[in-house]
């Protein structure tokens, strides 16, 4: 009998791809979903990719990272956990706890219940938000690797996702050390790539907003792109390589400015009118003071953060999917599924 791996947040963009990759490698998978209503969609989506035989090794259970209910049962018989579930928004909520609480409390809950059931091996989805911020960079180009840890106290502009992810990861390392757990953290940049259904990443909206012209203008800054298929591959590789225990891995393929993403899409779809206008940095800085989506990128305005993903690429065992290919595959899925990006 193949090992049973628990994937939290199995209905999400990264979660579904992790489920697919695990099933393709012969594992049995138990995925957590927040509501039973998600089950049919996840089964249908995953089944289309892996086939009925592999999909028969998928079990879905109801468990919310903000409640204890269901977690003891979810962890029973499990060999290892991929903790992927988190709360992501496209704006900066006035109530930051909407994002911070699921990150911190949810991670603590998953580790606690795993430990109680005797599960030692956990791979945690973290973020570059826990790496490259609060280091005094306001201009120029700087390269970050896994040795950097975001310093929340030194940041002028905090945002909820960064706070939640950073505090959750620090607490996870402390808990793992205190309880003899074997933790690995994966730190993706902006995750794009082919959506499998309409439950996709907010980062996919970077592409959909350009395709449907709902993005009126572009900030000048860039971001580190990573394809969701590589993120999932890295999670599985971390699970399968004992040398990954106790380590952090950046999942970052290529830095690309927003205007360059628009240029690539225009080249790929010459029949479309892709916006090329940019918003001056000073306007972004003013708008960010009031929160909203600008708060998510304000720390990257006027500087370039390069995240060195070579260690993660080596762990994965194959080259990263290029940014251009990932943008293309994202766009094709957006068009095929008729996806619209909505900030909530």
**pLDDT tens sequence across 308-344:** 999 999 999 999 999 999 999 999 999 998 887 644 3
Burial of 227 (0-12, 13-18, 19+ CB in 10 A): buried
The per-residue pLDDT for 201 is 74
pLDDT range class, residue 158, cuts 50, 70, 90: confident
The per-residue pLDDT for 343 is 42
Domain ranges of the chain: 4-337
State the pairing for strand pair 190-192/4-8: unpaired
In this predicted structure, the answer to whether residue 74 has a pLDDT above a threshold of 60 is yes
Distance CA 160, CA 99 (A): 6
b/e code 289-316 from CB counts within 10 Å (16+ = b) = eebebbbbbbbbbbeebbbebebbbebb
Under CATH, which number does the domain 4-337 receive?
A: 3.40.50.720
- Choose among 99, 96, 74: nearest CA to 86: 99
In this predicted structure, the answer to whether residue 63 has a pLDDT above a threshold of 60 is yes
Cβ atoms of 110 and 36 within 8 Å: the answer is no
The pLDDT of 143-147, averaged and rounded, is 97
pLDDT range class, residue 217, cuts 50, 70, 90: confident
The per-residue pLDDT for 99 is 85
In this predicted structure, the answer to whether residue 284 has a pLDDT above a threshold of 90 is no
Note the pTM of the prediction, 2 decimals: 0.94
User: Poorest-confidence range of 37-41, 88-92, 161-165?
Assistant: 88-92
pLDDT range class, residue 89, cuts 50, 70, 90: low
pLDDT range class, residue 219, cuts 50, 70, 90: confident
pLDDT, tens digit, 9 for 90 and up, residues 2-43: 799 999 999 999 999 999 999 999 999 999 998 888 899 999
The pLDDT of 213-224, averaged and rounded, is 88
pLDDT, tens digit, 9 for 90 and up, residues 228-258: 999 999 999 999 999 999 999 999 999 999 9
Mean pLDDT of the chain: 91
Q: Can you tell me which residue has the tokens 């393709």? A: 24
The per-residue pLDDT for 44 is 93
Listed in sequence order, the residues at least 6 apart from 193 whose beta carbon sits closer than 8 Å to its beta carbon are 17, 227, 228, 229, 230, 321, 326, 329, 330
The single residue of 16, 21, 38, 165 carrying the catalytic annotation is: 165
- Choose among 223, 124, 222: nearest CA to 164: 124
- Choose among 191, 205, 201, 133: nearest CA to 163: 133
Highest mean pLDDT (candidates 76-80, 135-139, 287-291)? 76-80
pLDDT range class, residue 1, cuts 50, 70, 90: low
The pLDDT of 193-217, averaged and rounded, is 86
The pLDDT of 182-198, averaged and rounded, is 95
- In 146-298, DSSP assigns E strands to 182-188, 190-192, 222-227, 248-251, 254-257
Distance CA 294, CA 237 (A): 34
The DSSP line for 323-341 is HHHHHHHHHHHHHHHT---
Listed in sequence order, the residues at least 6 apart from 219 whose beta carbon sits closer than 8 Å to its beta carbon are 258, 278, 279, 281, 284, 294, 297, 301
% the chain with pLDDT above 70: 97
- In 168-324, DSSP assigns E strands to 182-188, 190-192, 222-227, 248-251, 254-257, 303-307
Residue 165 is among the residues annotated as catalytic for this protein: yes
In this predicted structure, the answer to whether residue 305 has a pLDDT above a threshold of 90 is yes
* Helical axes 160-179 vs 97-116, angle rounded to 10°: 20
């Amino acid at each position: 009998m193949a090992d049973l791996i628990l994937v939290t947040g199995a209905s999400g963009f990264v979660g579904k791809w992790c489920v697919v990759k695990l099933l393709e490698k012969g594992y049995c998978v138990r995925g957590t979903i927040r509501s039973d209503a998600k089950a049919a969609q996840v089964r249908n989506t995953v089944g289309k990719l892996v086939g009925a035989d592999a999909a028969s090794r998928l079990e879905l259970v109801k468990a919310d990272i903000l409640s204890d209910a269901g977690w003891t049962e979810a962890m029973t018989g499990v060999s290892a956990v991929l903790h992927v579930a988190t709360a992501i928004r496209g704006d900066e909520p006035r109530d930051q706890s909407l994002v911070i609480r699921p990150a911190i409390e949810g991670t603590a809950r998953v580790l606690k219940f795993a430990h109680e059931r005797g599960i030692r091996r956990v791979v945690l989805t973290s973020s570059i938000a826990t790496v490259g911020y609060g280091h005094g960079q306001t201009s120029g180009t700087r390269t970050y690797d896994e040795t950097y840890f975001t310093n929340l106290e030194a940041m002028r502009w905090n945002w909820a996702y960064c706070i939640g992810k950073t505090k959750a990861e620090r607490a996870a390392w402390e808990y793992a050390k205190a309880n003899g757990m074997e933790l690995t953290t994966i730190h993706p940049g902006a995750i794009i790539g082919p959506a499998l259904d309409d439950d996709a990443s907010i980062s996919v909206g970077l592409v959909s907003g350009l395709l449907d012209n709902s993005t009126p203008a572009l900030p000048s800054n860039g971001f580190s792109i990573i394809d969701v298929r590589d993120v999932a591959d890295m999670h599985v590789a971390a699970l399968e390589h004992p040398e990954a225990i106790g380590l952090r891995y950046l999942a970052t393929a290529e830095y690309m400015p927003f205007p360059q993403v628009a240029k690539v899409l225009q080249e790929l779809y010459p029949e479309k009118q892709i916006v090329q206008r940019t918003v001056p940095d000073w306007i972004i800085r003013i708008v960010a003071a009031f929160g909203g989506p600008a708060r998510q990128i304000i720390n990257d305005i006027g500087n370039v953060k390069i995240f060195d993903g070579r260690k993660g690429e080596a762990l994965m065992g194959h080259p990263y999917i290029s940014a251009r290919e990932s943008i293309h595959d994202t766009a094709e899925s957006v068009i095929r599924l008729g996806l619209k990006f909505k900030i909530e």
